[in-house]
Amino acid sequence: MKPLTSFEKRVYTVVKQIPAGQVRTYAWIARRLKKPRSARAVGNALNKNPFTIIVPCHRVVSSDGSLGGYAFGSGLKKKLLDIELSAINDRKVFEGYYVIRNSVKIEGIGQ
């Protein structure tokens, strides 16, 4: 395994804190890292994530409300989110918006 960069380590630290059943955007992670223009770099770091059980990169989605990428395919990403969402309430607040169970649709995202 290739050593992690300091940026990758920082991304994984933030992503590990996303609770099950909730999602955050790549841009949200970038802002949290004080690098607001690095959303694409966040995505690239998550694509290389060697710790998928520990670092739940499937909980990171695009700002336009789409699922975004996932190293194991978007179908599995949606399935993982559906499983998590079905284990909690029908609606979960995320950054002031609702994530709708079973559709993994994010309402109101405009960033």
Query: Which residues are part of the catalytic machinery?
Result: 57
Give the span between the Cα atoms of 80 and 40, in whole angstroms.
22
* CA distances in angstroms from 110 to 19, 60, 71, listed in the order given: 22, 16, 25
Query: Amino acid letter at 27?
Result: A
Residue listed under structure tokens 């995202």: 109
Give the span between the Cα atoms of 86 and 42, in whole angstroms.
27
Sequence-distant (≥ 6) Cβ neighbours of residue 91 within 8 angstroms: 98, 99, 100, 101
